[in-house]
Copies of this chain bind each other. A is one copy, B any other.
Amino acid sequence: MSERGRLRIVGLGPGGKDWVTPEASGWIASATDVIGYAPYLDRISLREGQKRHASGNRAEMERARNALQLAEEGRQVALVSGGDPGVFAMAAAVFEAIDNGKPGWRALDIAVSPGISAMQAVAARAGAPLGHDFCAISLSDNLKPWPLIEKRLSAAASADFVIALYNPASAARPRRIHDAFALLRNLKRAATPVIFAHAAGQADEYILIETLATADPCRADMGTLIIIGSSATRVIARGIGTPFVYTSRRAD
């Protein structure tokens, strides 16, 4: 009889060991098998005897099923994800695989370790733009229809949420961020602060503070996260250094 397996779904944060929680480090250290998208695995030092299972970025469901299968076979599996696995990442893929997979998978010992998400890292670098009511929307229309995304953008603008945009553009979808900006420019003030962040927490990080009128959606790629302010979002100019951006807890 095999030892009882387990699956731990672990968030590494957006980059940098200083944002990896002790829980995440501990769960990875105690795994027999570590599985994930190759660049995330490259951020971890595995010890002698730990088995590394690298996969491509697109193969989310296959990676989820592979992790479940290994756990079912009695392995101690850590499935690693960038950011928070619970926010636009691997945790939902695993539970979807369980929901549509072998009945035995429901009885497995499964747990999720949260991580710092990209929007939180960007917010911390910029000031406190997520300090009040906000929403997070993925612009990827791989799995949901574009009209639903438009509906969510319109609702978020009309109810004056701060908006964090995930997956703003990819090689296959270069125009969606332009469509999103065109829609938001019709609904929100031109002076609305916009934060364009690339690779927050990584070596090539940069953050631009723009306005909805001046921001150039051409800058967006897969490594970009965009935060669009509400009417209560303010920019504090400074003599030196990037301005601070925060969202007041007071409504106008």
Q: Which residues of A contact B (CB under 8 A)?
A: 13, 16-23, 26, 84-89, 91-96, 98-99, 106-107, 110-117, 120-121, 123-125, 127-138, 143-145, 148, 151-152, 154-156, 158-161, 234, 236-240, 244, 246-251
Closest to A157 in B: B155
CB pair A99–B234 under 8 Å, yes or no, is: yes
Partner of A95, one of B20, B115, B120, B244: B244
Chain B hits for A148, CB < 8 A? 160, 251
* B residues near A110, Cβ cutoff 8 Å: 244
Query: In angstroms, how far is the closest chain B Cβ from the Cβ of A235?
Result: 9
Q: A245: shortest Cβ distance to chain B, in Å? A: 8
A87–B123 Cα gap in the complex (Å)? 9
Find out whether the CB atom of A18 lies under 8 angstroms from the CB atom of B21.
yes
Bound complex: CA A50 to CA B138 (Å): 44
Q: Is the CB of A246 within 8 A of B18?
A: no
Q: List 30 A-B contacts (CB under 8 A).
A: A18-B21, A19-B22, A20-B21, A84-B120, A86-B129, A87-B123, A91-B128, A91-B246, A94-B128, A95-B127, A95-B131, A95-B236, A98-B244, A99-B234, A99-B236, A106-B238, A106-B239, A107-B238, A107-B239, A112-B124, A112-B127, A112-B128, A113-B124, A114-B121, A117-B120, A133-B137, A133-B152, A134-B135, A143-B251, A144-B249
